[in-house]
């Protein structure tokens, strides 16, 4: 057997948090066997809180982001990562100083950051073929909710039928009147792309849906029902931020965004007629790692000090 183990890194610079995933990509006889997570680091910098209000990233958050990238470069060297890719999403692409910050990150840490558009983000997520993780025979409405955008895909028997990115996210909601128009766009897209499908299941990714799944104590691979999600949503809407932290044990940076996140999942499920949602705990960083392996995204050598 010709066994090969690559160590790849994926960096997701999101509107709510910045994540580094380090994973072993195992191949045998040139066929992918598994992608196994070695380390996942998350820093809640919240670039979107700046951008969706002032259109620029503040000096404070710029400094925090640069320090995070320096530490990620060190962690990748320590883990002997051979190739990595860093992708920045809605907050960075909408900020007036995003390009300048990308240059500063490269000068100080050696990490090359690619600012990607919404469709590229949706395609990376859809390319994970996440339906295989549950059943390749099912039809899924894949919902990825971030701080600044939501990516939706319709996947049938492991094949992507449609994919779209929307300017609707947990940090963006309430920041502008744009939200109402975007809700209508999401409703129209989901309705049109699922109307001829039967037995649609939802599949969700994002920190909030992962939190609900973990607290449900469901076994891996089992879905949450729409009713369970709706009951959880109703419960937290009646709770204060402090009670969510103390009584539910939510992280401080999760307690204030989980309500708008669940609103997005629930509406998308309702419009797609999905009665349950699978939660495979897969996100953009996972898609980056797999894309490097497949050669659909160029991987960069880890910068040396």
Q: Are residues 148 and 260 in the same domain?
A: yes
pTM greater than the 0.85 cutoff:
yes
> What is the predicted pLDDT for the residue at 129?
59
Give the separation between CA 183 and CA 19, rounded to whole angstroms. Answer: 27
Q: Final residue of a domain: which of 118, 149, 172?
A: 118
Say if 297 falls within a structural domain: no
CA proximity to 208, closest of 3, 11, 17, 1: 17
Q: Are residues 136 and 267 in the same domain?
A: yes
Least confident of 134-138, 166-170, 203-207, 264-268: 134-138
210-248 in b/e form (b: 16+ CB < 10 A) is bbbbeeeebeeeebbebebbeebbeebeebeeeebbeeb
pLDDT band at 120 (very low <50, low <70, confident <90, very high): confident
Q: Are residues 168 and 276 in the same domain?
A: yes
pLDDT at 48 over 70: yes
Say if 51 falls within a structural domain: yes
Say if 289 falls within a structural domain: no
Percent of the chain with pLDDT over 90: 75
Q: Which domain holds residue 233?
A: 129-281
pLDDT band at 26 (very low <50, low <70, confident <90, very high): very high
Percent of the chain with pLDDT over 70: 96
Say if 89 falls within a structural domain: yes
């Amino acid at each position: 057997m010709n066994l090969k183990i690559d160590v790849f890194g994926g960096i997701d610079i999101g509107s709510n948090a910045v994540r580094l995933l380090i994973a072993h990509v195992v191949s045998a006889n040139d066929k992918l066997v598994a992608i196994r997570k070695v380390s996942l680091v998350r820093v809640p910098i919240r670039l979107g809180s700046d951008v969706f209000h002032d259109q620029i990233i503040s000096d404070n958050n710029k400094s925090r982001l640069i320090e995070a990238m320096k530490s990620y470069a060190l962690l990748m060297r320590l883990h002997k990562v051979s190739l990595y890719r860093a992708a920045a999403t809605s907050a960075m692409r909408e900020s007036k100083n995003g390009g300048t910050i990308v240059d500063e990150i490269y000068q100080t840490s050696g990490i090359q950051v690619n600012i990607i558009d919404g469709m590229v983000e949706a395609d990376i997520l859809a390319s994970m073929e996440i339906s295989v993780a549950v059943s390749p025979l099912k039809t899924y409405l894949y919902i990825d909710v971030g701080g600044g955008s939501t990516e939706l895909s319709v996947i049938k028997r492991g094949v992507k039928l449609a994919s779209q990115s929307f300017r609707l996210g947990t940090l963006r909601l309430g920041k502008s009147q744009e939200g109402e128009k975007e809700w209508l766009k999401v409703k129209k897209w989901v309705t049109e792309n699922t109307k001829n499908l039967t037995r649609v299941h939802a599949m969700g990714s994002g920190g909030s849906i992962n939190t609900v799944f973990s607290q449900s104590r469901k076994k891996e691979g089992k879905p949450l029902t729409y009713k369970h999600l709706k009951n959880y949503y109703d419960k937290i809407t009646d709770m204060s931020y402090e009670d969510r932290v103390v009584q539910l044990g939510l992280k401080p940076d999760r307690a204030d965004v989980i309500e708008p996140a669940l609103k997005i999942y629930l509406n998308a499920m309702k419009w797609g007629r999905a009665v349950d949602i699978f939660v495979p705990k897969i996100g953009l960083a996972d898609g980056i790692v797999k894309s490097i392996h497949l050669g659909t995204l160029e991987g960069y050598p880890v910068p040396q000090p």
